Amino acid sequence: MVIEREVDMKTCLCGIELDNPVMAASGTFGYGREFAELYDINILGTFSFKGTTPEARFGNPTPRIAECTEGMLNSVGLQNPGVQAVVKEEMPALAKVFQKNVMANVCGGCPEDYAAVAQALEPCEQIGWLEVNISCPNVANGGMAFGTDPKAAASVIDTVRRVTKKPVIAKLSPNVTDITEIARACEAAGADGITAINTLLGMRIDLKRRQPILAREMGGFSGPAVFPIALRAVYQIRRAVEIPVIGCGGVRNAEDVLEMMMAGAKAVQVGSENLVNPYACRDIIESLPAAMRKYGIQSLQELSD
């Protein structure tokens, strides 16, 4: 009889221990409640909730989703109820179904907006990390405009750093010449970690209408096709900074998680796959021990240390 040895899936992100490295990425998991109706989301390491702004946002006009080979385009535009509604309604509701620290995705149109969201979320004990989204390509003001310039990125991170004691994670855009330059600027400004990557800028054309499919013409491309780009970014960033990196982009199975961690990630976010298969995170976590044994990995710590 073959006795399968236990494996250690624990990891640590900015001083907070996770049962496993699998996280749901912001924008693909709402504020958690919808998925809690399908399975026990406490199986997750954690998740990053929907991008949150100072005021409520309706989002971009439709159509704002387009299918692509091995991926999708989205131009949702940070639709959310605003930070006060998140604090008063979403966080108490989440506490009923999720007993772990959660990651807040912080957005804004200027550094002061980011600071306002961070300040409002500061008293929420369940929020363990602030993921500062300086990389969204689907808003007219802020977002990717900050994440493609080292000084602008540093300005946002510095402003948020001054108003919170929580770990600050900078979510970076791949739509740059040298992502390590942005990562170094964020680290110097006080970031405690990096998430890499957000979506790539792309578009599709409706052949019958001879017009872009998306109402805003361009949107963020995500899905399995971007995995090699995301992996490369994680590998480069991990060698450029001392702070931990969260890998994100095209992850869809346990092997992808291991590959991200071998590249240097401390934790791994699952994004678009949640929209294809709402049980994706659960399935990946459940299959991770077998994948670790297959490749002779006793502890995930040995991959990311």
Q: What percent of the chain has pLDDT over 90?
A: 83
b or e along 207-219 (b: 16 or more beta carbons within 10 Å of the residue's beta carbon)? Answer: eeeeebbbebeeb
74: nearest Cα among 90, 57, 58, 62: 62
Q: What is the pLDDT of residue 1?
A: 36
Distance CA 93, CA 278 (A): 20
Domain coordinates in residue numbering, the chain: 11-304
Catalytic residue at 110? no
Predicted local distance difference test score (pLDDT) of residue 62: 86
DSSP β-ladder status, 211-212 and 205-206: antiparallel
Q: What is the mean pLDDT of the chain?
A: 93
Q: What is the predicted pLDDT for the residue at 15?
A: 96
**Cα→Cα distances 64→59, 157, 216, 223, Å:** 9, 29, 8, 16
The pLDDT value recorded for residue 267 is: 98
Q: Which of 14, 124, 136, 248 is catalytic?
A: 136
Written as tens digits, the pLDDT of the chain (305 aa) is 344 578 999 999 999 999 999 999 999 999 999 999 999 999 999 999 999 999 999 888 888 889 888 899 988 888 999 999 999 999 999 999 999 999 999 999 889 999 999 999 999 999 999 999 997 654 445 455 567 889 999 999 999 999 999 999 999 999 999 999 999 999 999 999 999 999 999 999 999 999 999 988 998 999 999 999 999 999 999 999 999 999 999 999 999 999 999 999 999 999 999 999 999 999 999 999 999 999 999 999 888 66
11-304, which class in CATH? Answer: alpha beta
The verdict on pTM exceeding 0.85 is: yes
Question: What confidence tens digit (pLDDT) does each residue in 50-106 have?
Answer: 999 999 998 888 888 898 888 999 888 889 999 999 999 999 999 999 999 999 999
